[in-house]
Amino acid sequence: MAISTAVYSKTQFRFAIAKETTFGTSISTQSSFQELHITEPPTLDTATAVVTDVTPRIDGTAVLAISDIYKTQAGAITTVTVSGILTTPVLELLLEGVFQNKSTSSAEDTYEWDYLTEPLGDDTDQTFFTLALHDPISAEGKEVTSAFLKTLEITWDAGSNGGRASFSATFISGLELGISKTFTPGSWSTPGTAYFATTGLDGKNVSGYDVVTNNFSFTLDNGATFWGVDADGFAEGCTVGAAGGKGYTASGSISVKYDPNTRSLIDSVLANGTRLPIWLTFNDGDANNKLYISAYGAPDSANYNFGQDAGVFRDLAFTCAAYGSSEAIRFVVGDNTP
């Protein structure tokens, strides 16, 4: 057989997600998919997509036979990690997927975890997705059905991605991996160009003081865990917010300039029960693309950062925790400040 001269670039791989309505039923309508602005091809962990058992036979041979290796997808958890640059439609889908709740008004969409947030086990109350990985070779696309967005990291750094906020998302599925699929990216919704960039970072406030920052990040984990097996050995459902007794967890970090407004951060770290309200706003005044982030942080550290050309900074790490009726963390997309 002749050598193939085909050469494919990583940029020819594309990725999209579509909300499902019924657990175990993938989305096939291509116009239902939202393409993500990815910066690297998704990592499809095929090792997690199979359960492997190696049992040498007692048959007098000292060499493992191929029949001694057994593999099945039933009972496996497929993991897909994808990273890219945030735009408004992508952000809204990712937030709904990780928070597993969405409150909508005529002006804004709100996603939050507070003292009233409960675990969810009924798929009619959950958000999960069909994942589409387009392969440049025909009929070699990969499909992941009923994938839950378990962890989401949202990061902004003035010196990365042109100063645009980015994401890293990890999806998991307990259903069979589709390996010979055909997708039509031309029918997908495009990510658009509604970015969350340095020029749109309007509000930066820690503990009631305006601060100077050059980066921040938030990590969200809903503890998604699959349960049960159906007649084919695949997951029957998924629970969010109950794994390990930790429920929904969020943490973050922000680097702020050391000045009279931030001088007491170390005191806050050392004091018991201290809470630091953190507020950040992008695109204030934009009715469709404003993003408001609020978190109540229990500070973990506030180390000096002497390596900044702009002066001394404090690297503040924190764990998000509800404070009375106040949310642990909240994201609002829309034109109203809550």
What lies within 8 Å, CB to CB, of 103 at 6+ separation is 109, 110, 111, 112
Rg (CA), the chain: 23
Other residues' Cβ atoms within 10 Å of the Cβ of residue 30: 17
Question: Tokens for 126?
Answer: 């959950």
Question: How much is the pLDDT for 59?
Answer: 87
Looking at the 3D structure of the chain, how many domains does it have? Answer: 1
Is the CB of residue 316 less than 8 Å from the CB of residue 254? yes
> Does residue 300 fall inside a structural domain?
yes
Question: How much is the pLDDT for 336?
Answer: 57
Question: How much is the pLDDT for 309?
Answer: 83
> Does residue 2 fall inside a structural domain?
no
> Does residue 1 fall inside a structural domain?
no
241: region left, alpha or beta (phi > 0 left; psi from -120 to 50 alpha): left
> Does residue 63 fall inside a structural domain?
no
> Does residue 6 fall inside a structural domain?
no
Question: How much is the pLDDT for 338?
Answer: 45
Burial class of 199 by CB neighbour count within 10 A (0 to 12, 13 to 18, 19+): exposed
Rounded-to-integer distance, Cα 103 and Cα 148, Å: 19
> Does residue 60 fall inside a structural domain?
no
Rounded-to-integer distance, Cα 101 and Cα 76, Å: 27
pTM: 0.94
Question: How much is the pLDDT for 96?
Answer: 98
- Bridge-partner residues for 76, per DSSP? none
> Does residue 124 fall inside a structural domain?
yes
Rounded-to-integer distance, Cα 216 and Cα 228, Å: 38
Is the CB of residue 252 less than 8 Å from the CB of residue 217? yes
> Does residue 59 fall inside a structural domain?
no
DSSP 8-state assignment for residue 130: E
Rounded-to-integer distance, Cα 262 and Cα 210, Å: 9
Question: Tokens for 30?
Answer: 């291509």
Q: pLDDT tens string for the chain (338 positions)?
A: 899 999 999 999 999 999 999 999 999 999 999 999 999 999 999 999 999 999 998 888 899 999 999 999 999 999 999 999 999 999 999 999 999 999 998 789 999 999 999 999 999 999 999 999 999 999 999 999 999 999 999 999 999 999 999 999 999 999 999 999 999 999 999 999 999 999 999 999 999 999 999 999 999 999 999 999 999 999 999 999 987 778 999 999 999 999 999 999 988 888 888 889 999 999 999 999 999 999 999 999 999 999 888 899 999 999 999 988 889 999 999 975 54
Question: How much is the pLDDT for 310?
Answer: 84
Is the CB of residue 96 less than 8 Å from the CB of residue 306? no
Rounded-to-integer distance, Cα 102 and Cα 94, Å: 11
Per the structure, the complete domain to which residue 44 belongs is given by: 11-52+68-334
